[in-house]
Amino acid sequence: MEPTDRALQWSADTVTRPDAPHRTRRPTPMWVRSARYWMYQYKRTWRGSITTSFLFPVLYLTAIGLGVGSLIHHPVDGVRFLDFLAPGLLASTAMQIGGNDAMYPVMAAIKWLKTYFAMLATPLSVIDVLIGHLAWIALRLFVVCSIYLLIMAAFGTVHSPLALVAVPVGVLTGMAFAAPIAAFAATQVNDMGFSTIYRFVLIPLFLFSGIFFPLNQLPGWFQAVALALPLYHGVALCRGLVLGHVGVSAVVHLAYLVVLSALGLVVAARTYRRRLVT
């Protein structure tokens, strides 16, 4: 059949029929609709991404936890070095995933693929686009942190049922980076600023947030600085939960991460609007 003849038929067919059957359903929340896009995109990359989620904890826990740990014969903060290290790595992985997913994908959605603009031509608005993207990052963090916890258990580093709470805390730690970094990414004209974030934020925090050694090993002023930085609070919370000793300080850690995430969201709503609505 000649294609144009078929083409004419669709006018009288489904496309022109009013979309009656689905009108009775409850409408899907707007942010869920925008989060769904990222799920579609993930269909393409999930295999590699899941593999790395398994591989990295195994590599880190083996090389540093068991390898370097074999040189450390006295307890660190009262526990085996491997037990000290593992929960910190969970928090730092969350930071890296949260930070990374709020940099290049945001730039792509603004500039390279213009996905945000495609969304904004539909019923979605700026806040739906933002919340949908952050919700997707949170979901991904949940999966990655869950896998991490499983592997930690396999390494024998989980010492309390409270460790299950380390998963949502890992998500929160990741969001405390994802939200402010997304706010920053929306102000950038290219991806040059992202290497600055890596060099001056993510990597130093990874090294000096009490993951590899207790902060009291640092000189006093340095300790004060490290305590004020966000990753430390994620690390301390996760460690407490996984080892089973949670104190009052947990409230401070939690509040710190919640406030940072919320501030990030508020600022991102502004920078997104400024960038996307002209």
Partner 1 sequence: MHGSGAWRGTEQVAESAEPLVVAKGLTKRFGDFVAVDGIDFEIARGESYGLLGPNGAGKTSTMRMISCMSPISGGTLRVLGLDPAQHGAQIRGRIGLVPQEDTLDLELTVLDNLMVYGRYFDLPRSVIRERARQLLEFTQLWDRAHDKVDPLSGGMKRRLTIARSLVSAPELLILDEPTTGLDPQARHLVWDRLYRLKQQGVTQVITTHYMDEAEQLCDRLAVMDGGRFAAEGAPQELIRRYSTREVLELRFGTADPTPIIPQLDGLVQRTEVLPDRLLLYTDDGEGTLGHVHRLGVTPDSALVRRSTLEDVFLRLTGRSLVD
Contacts with partner 1 by CB under 8 A lie at 3-4, 6-11, 13-19, 21-22, 25, 27-28, 30, 33-34, 36-37, 40-41, 44, 113-115, 117-125, 277-278
Q: Give the burial string for 210-235 (b: 16+ CB within 10 Å, else e).
A: bbbbebeebeeeebeebeeebbbbbb
For residue 20, the minimal CB distance to partner 1 (Å) is: 8
Which one, 125 or 271, has the nearer CB to partner 1?
125
Cβ atoms within 10 Å of 58's Cβ, excluding its own:
12
Distance CA 245, CA 237 (A): 10
CA dihedral over 34, 141, 164, 204, signed as positive or negative: negative
Which one, 11 or 216, has the nearer CB to partner 1?
11
For residue 268, the minimal CB distance to partner 1 (Å) is: 19
For residue 34, the minimal CB distance to partner 1 (Å) is: 7
Distance CA 213, CA 207 (A): 9
Which one, 114 or 245, has the nearer CB to partner 1?
114
Which one, 40 or 221, has the nearer CB to partner 1?
40
For residue 147, the minimal CB distance to partner 1 (Å) is: 24
Which one, 36 or 245, has the nearer CB to partner 1?
36
Distance CA 190, CA 100 (A): 15
For residue 36, the minimal CB distance to partner 1 (Å) is: 5
Query: Roughly how many angstroms between the first and final C-alpha of the chain, as a whole number?
Result: 47
